[in-house]
Amino acid sequence: MNVVEIKNLSKKYGDFLALDNINLTVESHQIVGLVGPNGAGKTTMIKLICSMLLPTNGSIKVFGQDVTKDVTYKENIGYLGENIGYYENFTAYNYLRFFGTFYRMNGEKLKKTGIEVLKTVGLLNQSNSKISTFSRGMKQRLGLARCLLHEPDLLILDEPMSGLDPTGKKDIMEKLIDIRDSGKTIFLSSHELRYMDDVCDQICVIKNGKIIAHGTPDTILTDIKGMSNYVILLKSRDKKIDELQRVFPEIRELSVKQNILHLRVKETKDFEKKFLTYLLQNNIDFSIKTHKIDAIYSQIFEEKT
């Protein structure tokens, strides 16, 4: 089932076209990541989905409901914005109780769910501490707890990892996977491509208001340029490595530095399978070292595509 369906969506701020003919679907029980450089249009898209902005053209449906006609779908989404306010004098638990009342929650149900979501985000021991004593990462977790409180089926998270240290990012990502596995759908934006690679079922790359690639983390680079980067750790230097480009004409660039083999490959059908078979058959001891998402980063964010 499609939880979000975006068709021919455009958004103008005055004369400036921030989103240009976007088409995207988010299926249930998936984590879909929106990535792109500053100013690409990520927050604009998220605000449109949450009906905080109106489209200039096109349509958005959430749970089959047109977001410009009926906003009751909002009761079933949890939205974490870029700069949400925290009431510093509240304790974490009282903050959740306060927001729970907006969703008509009260009594034992609110108490029980409040404790459960604090546990989910790893803040149970701090439930009676004032928010003013929280680090940025702890506030980010509390924001996530707030999104989960009314048990929505769809979470929409704008930069949920901003300001977190690497451990905090990894932790939040693991929580998101657990939440997805519990039956929820998650749509999130982030600059954290490596984490997105690990966590997302689908990645949508946006630049200058246009979707320039959409697919699984594994297929997306090929979508962009038909080229893939491989980084392979060689256990030892083998002279057969020098022959790789002759054997595989798809390899357009090859370099070896300190036992790390870098390849830039024009992807063809079965290249990966044939290449790995060749390494194994020639007893070249190796392990794949990095994610292909690193290559996406350099192509989309650093080069002018």
| Residue number with CB closer to ligand ATP (40 or 50) | 40
Phi, psi of 165 (to 5 degrees): -80, 170
| Residue number with CB closer to ligand ATP (36 or 114) | 36
Rounded CA gap, 256 and 276, in Å?
17
The nearest distance, CB 36 to ligand ATP, in angstroms, is 5
Alpha carbon 281 to chain centroid, angstroms: 37
Rounded CA gap, 18 and 40, in Å?
8
The nearest distance, CB 41 to ligand ATP, in angstroms, is 4
Using rule CB under 6 A, residue 41 touches ligand ATP: yes
Element (H, E) at 191: none
Q: Which burial class, exposed, middle or buried, applies to 154 when counting CB atoms under 10 A from its CB (0-12, 13-18, 19+)?
A: buried
The nearest distance, CB 46 to ligand ATP, in angstroms, is 8
Q: What is the largest CA-CA distance in the chain?
A: 72
Rounded CA gap, 265 and 283, in Å?
22
Binds ligand ATP by CB under 6 A, chosen from 39, 64, 166, 226: 39
| Residue number with CB closer to ligand ATP (45 or 110) | 45
Tokens 């909002």 sit on residue: 74
The nearest distance, CB 45 to ligand ATP, in angstroms, is 7
Q: Which stretch binds ligand ATP (CB under 6 A): 36-44, 130-138, 174-182, 288-296?
A: 36-44
| Residues 6-25: x where in contact with ligand ATP by CB under 6 A, - otherwise, as a string | -------x--x-x-------
The nearest distance, CB 273 to ligand ATP, in angstroms, is 37
Using rule CB under 6 A, residue 196 touches ligand ATP: no
- The per-residue b/e assignment along 190-199, b for 16 or more CB within 10 angstroms, e otherwise, is bbbbebbbeb
Contacts to ligand ATP by CB under 6 A: 13, 16, 18, 36, 38-44
